[in-house]
Structure 1
Amino acid sequence: MKVIVVGAGIVGAACAFHAVSAGLDVTVLDRGPVGAGTTSRGEGNILLSDKEPGPELELARLSRALWDEAGEELGSASLEWEAKGGLVVAASPEALTALHAFAERQTAAGVRAVRVDRPADLEPHSAPGLAGGVHYPQDAQVQPVLAAAALLRAAVRGGARLHTGEAAAAVTGAGGRITGVRTADGTVLAADAVVNAAGTWGGEVGRRLGAPVEILPRRGFVLVTEPLPPMIRHKVYSADYVANVAADGAGLETSCVVEGTRAGTILIGASRERVGFDTTMNPAVVAVLAAQACRLFPFLRGVHLIRAYRGFRPYCPDHLPVVGPDPRVSGVLHACGHEGAGIGLAPGTGALITAHLLGRPWRGADPAAHTGLLPDRFLTTGGVPT
């Protein structure tokens, strides 16, 4: 089977990695360098802690196990893998009650979650007076561009071909089935299947494939501090983060997320706003994020920011990724719309796409167990995306 993966970010890299491992003939296309899109604008989070029980959490649990396997196969150093765990904190008793209820639902779904009465026991530099928190030992982190590159290198070693600087300009087909992809220079590459792993541009790529899906951009900022001695041990965020991820409003939403990196820098997020593809730097957002981080970790008031970057999370209207074959065009599969969770969900997505291509379970991914992510959930009886 000849498979073309459109997109060389973390999700496309994982799709290529698993498809090659299953013995498929794989070509990866991207108009830019490896991991240059949303992958390069993220923090590298691999989280179970922020997901409600349901289709996304099940994909996250599968992905967490596959990240462990990838670390063993590729070497944890090549990914900058850190099994640091997460700590979610609540500032008030009311927020803590809601957080405990959320954690109980996750525990029932198979997530390890441990109540913490004193967040300072796990994070000595956190602010005094926090009501409590929940520790999630399964949360982890990678350096996203390095991880995407490592997965693609492994795929290429297994026989995959990587073409950067070559966009998928159009498709060829017959009888409602994909037979190939035409690149911008006019070259036609034969294909039995095409995987749309184009991230924020997944909507446009889907349209070119004759199978449009509603993938929308959601802008976010991340702040980076000067390098410091180790000061923050976990990924630490406030309990309102989960609600902000799931919110549907178009306006600015912020919630405090703070974590250290191996390089010593501290990453501070997270903001979300629906502004299309507007890349304007907004100092007001930077100020809000910085203030929230200083309230959670007061020592940050004396630390310099060295830069702030922004990017676009690709999201679907129901805040779930779209993963699987499109019923409108045979041979088209989607692997996009992961919003801010693409790094964490990439291995499970790659395994699930491979299982769909093979027509059988692969590496623990069973299509029958993940039907809530299929693209047909967006289709009306007339086959038009809602």
Structure 2
Amino acid sequence: MDRTRVVILGAGIVGSACARELALAGCDVLVIDRGGPAAATTSHGEGNILLSDKGPGPELELAKLSRRLWPEVLTDLGGLAVQAEWQPKGGIVVATTRAGADGLRPFAASQRASGVVAEAMDADALRAAEPHVTREHTAAVHYPQDAQVQPAGAAAALLSGALAAGASLRSGREVLGGVVRGGRLTGVRTSHGTLEGDVFLNAAGPWSGELAARLGAPVDIRPRRGEVLVTTPLPPTVFHKVYDADYVGAVGSGAGDLQTSAVVEATLAGSVLLGSSRRRVGFDARTRPEVLSAIAAKALRLFPSLARVPVMRAYGGFRPYVPDHLPVIGPDPRLAGLWHASGHEGAGIGLSVGTARLVRALLDGREPEIDAGPFRVDRPAVLGEDVPAGSTAGEETT
């Protein structure tokens, strides 16, 4: 793989993680983006690195790999890692209804069987861990492996690590089309001229579907919008990532209409993030007051004490959605030279370093640490074919 010319299309956290891995592997890496690094989806998320919301299956295996890699990667980054604001604070899932408890208990049991630490909590343990959480709960599970980073900072650290390893970055380059010779993608036409390479990695997040179509190999990756509310800084109030048990069902749903669920967590700066929502509205970036109101109402059910806390801002972003809820990772068999690393929806922050490790192994012709088959490009959901109703091949987070 030495000196393979890899052009990474997208400078978000997935593209940045892949750039670092491939530069360390000896590739000649160029990262391009039509905007700036981490300026789109990456900077509009919460920074979650979660095992708690993923049932047994390929995405959980990728999440476990990523969770193991994150501390190693941050250690390797040295002083750059401070930008990531790594917090291995753990998560707590709280059921507030009998139905929620009936779903949470077997879900947690299935995760334990897959190697996830999931500890049932009684009322006293929950009160000790989260003194301000609602007393109206029916079950709770502690996930000590859950963690959080500041997403834009983490992406900046990964990209800086890539540049230090020899990669290059060019911003303000929009990809307009591909250059194909002998059935192989050998270049991309951009707003600033043509760039040639051996491998072109589509890491454009929600825009990956549109970009792939421009290159002549469409994939069914669509935008799915999510919003988050941010409170003013508070004294220590929320100590873990805390969410309602109905969150898992919401993230795994393919419904296009608005879905909200309670997700509450603090940042190192003291603000509390309140989420979450998901809806398929194309690239309509308008903020809807009714969506923010629904998010706030769900969050207050979980933490009633936040009722009088001011909200200082709200933000939203697009996540790369695939109908079968699994990322798309690996070479495109329809067009030699084209690779994909996208479709993570809201889990891209957490799954980025594991995705990069898979791409590196596959590009080098080695057996990856986990089975990459479920993420292959030539599966029905990615190629726009019908996905069976109720299919839940994997989960993703906001």
Q: TM-score, normalised by structure 2?
A: 0.93
Counterpart of 2:230, as a letter, is V
Would you say the 8 A contact 1:117–1:131 is kept in 2?
Answer: no
Would you say the 8 A contact 2:18–2:360 is kept in 1?
Answer: yes
1:141 maps to what in 2?
A: 148
Would you say the 8 A contact 1:360–1:366 is kept in 2?
Answer: no
2:46 maps to what in 1?
A: 43
SS of the residue corresponding to residue 48 of structure 1 reads: coil
Deviation track 1:71-110 (CA, whole Å, cap 9, x = no partner) reads 2112442210000100000012332121010011111111
Deviation track 1:211-231 (CA, whole Å, cap 9, x = no partner) reads 210011111110000011111
The reply on whether 1:215 has 2:221 as its aligned counterpart is yes
Counterpart of 1:243, as a letter, is G
Counterpart of 1:87, as a letter, is I
2:198 maps to what in 1?
A: 192
Deviation track 1:17-69 (CA, whole Å, cap 9, x = no partner) reads 11111111100000111101110110000000001111111111111111111
Tell me the distance in 1 between the aligned counterparts of 2:186 and 2:99. Answer: 56
Residues 113-128 of structure 1: pairs in structure 2 closer than 5 A: 113-118=118-123, 119-128=126-135
Question: How much has 1:379 moved relative to structure 2?
Answer: 7.6
2:322 maps to what in 1?
A: 316
Residues 195-344 of structure 1: pairs in structure 2 closer than 5 A: 195-344=201-350
2:172 maps to what in 1?
A: 165
Question: How much has 1:289 moved relative to structure 2?
Answer: 1.0
Tell me the distance in 2 between the aligned counterparts of 1:169 and 1:354. Answer: 26
Q: Kindly report structure 1 stretches of 4+ aligned residues shifted beyond 6 Å.
A: none
- Give the 3 Å change call, closer, same or farther, for CA 379–141 of structure 1 in structure 2: closer
Tell me the distance in 1 between the aligned counterparts of 2:381 and 2:251. Answer: 24
2:106 maps to what in 1?
A: 101
Counterpart of 2:145, as a letter, is Q
When structure 1 is superposed on structure 2, of 248-257 and 352-361 the one drifting more is 352-361
Q: How many pairs are equivalent?
A: 378
1:11 maps to what in 2?
A: 14
2:59 maps to what in 1?
A: 56
Unaligned stretches of 5+ in structure 1? Answer: none
1:91 maps to what in 2?
A: 96
SS of the residue corresponding to residue 204 of structure 1 reads: helix
Tell me the distance in 2 between the aligned counterparts of 1:379 and 1:268. Answer: 31
Tell me the distance in 1 between the aligned counterparts of 2:7 and 2:210. Answer: 16
Tell me the distance in 1 between the aligned counterparts of 2:161 and 2:176. Answer: 27
Question: How much has 1:182 moved relative to structure 2?
Answer: 2.2
Task: Report percent identity of matched pairs.
Answer: 54
SS of the residue corresponding to residue 377 of structure 1 reads: coil
Tell me the distance in 1 between the aligned counterparts of 2:335 and 2:369. Answer: 22
Q: CA RMSD in A?
A: 1.3
